[in-house]
């Protein structure tokens, strides 16, 4: 799913005092994994269409690969959340990270599919792509309906 929608869904679900932390944890997996790639492509004056091209220096490809796998793994998210909860108590807004991965598992395809079991398995679902017109329309309709009904 697109990063902005992750933020809106997180804000909608965690409408408590610390909703902004849920938004942060809802968007950080994509921000952490994609920012160097996007900044490099903007710096190189690539067109908007080419912003996510794979024509990148090897260090950015390596960083993006590992950052994507680490930030999109339910294993890693659960481990870090569990350790944090042991020291600081239950922080439900951290589950926005799990929500992000759970949505991405079904809204990415092929090589961009979500490696949710990393590092134990490379099994992935190949779902409907979030950028397909049907999905974008359905997502916006559901988001708008949910915000109107719940907020």
Least distance (Å) between residue 72 CB and Zn ion: 6
Among 7, 9, 77, 104, binds Zn ion (CB under 5 A): 104
Q: Which two tokens mark 108?
A: 């990415």
The residue among 61 and 98 lying less far from Zn ion, judged by its C-beta, is 98
Q: Which of 30, 113, 116, 118 binds Zn ion (CB under 5 A)?
A: 30
Contact 125, 131 (CB under 8 A): no
77 is a site residue for Zn ion (CB under 5 A): no
- Name the DSSP letter for residue 117: T
CA 41 from chain center: how many Å? 20
How far apart, in Å, are the Cα atoms of 80 and each of 11, 49, 77, 85? 21, 35, 5, 9
Q: Which stretch binds Zn ion (CB under 5 A): 48-56, 58-66, 97-105, 126-134?
A: 97-105
3-state helix, strand and coil shares in percent for the chain, rounded to the nearest 5: 70, 0, 30
Shorter beta-carbon distance to Zn ion: residue 12 or 113: 113
Least distance from C-beta 62 to Zn ion, angstroms?
19
Judged by the rule CB under 5 A, the positions of this chain that interact with Zn ion are 29-30, 104
């Amino acid at each position: 799913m697109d990063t902005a929608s992750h933020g809106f869904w997180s804000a909608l679900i965690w409408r408590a005092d610390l909703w902004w932390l849920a938004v942060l944890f809802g968007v950080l997996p994509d921000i952490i994994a994609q920012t160097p790639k996007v900044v490099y492509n903007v710096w190189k004056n690539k067109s908007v269409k080419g912003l996510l091209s794979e024509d990148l220096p090897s260090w950015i490809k390596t960083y993006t690969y590992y950052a994507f796998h680490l930030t999109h793994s339910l294993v890693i998210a659960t481990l870090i959340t569990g350790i944090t909860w042991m020291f600081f108590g239950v922080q439900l807004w951290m589950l926005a990270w799990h929500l992000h991965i759970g949505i991405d598992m079904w809204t990415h395809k092929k090589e961009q599919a979500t490696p949710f079991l990393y590092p134990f398995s490379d099994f992935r679902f190949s779902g409907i792509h979030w950028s397909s017109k049907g999905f974008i329309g359905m997502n916006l309709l559901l988001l708008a309906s949910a915000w109107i009904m719940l907020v």
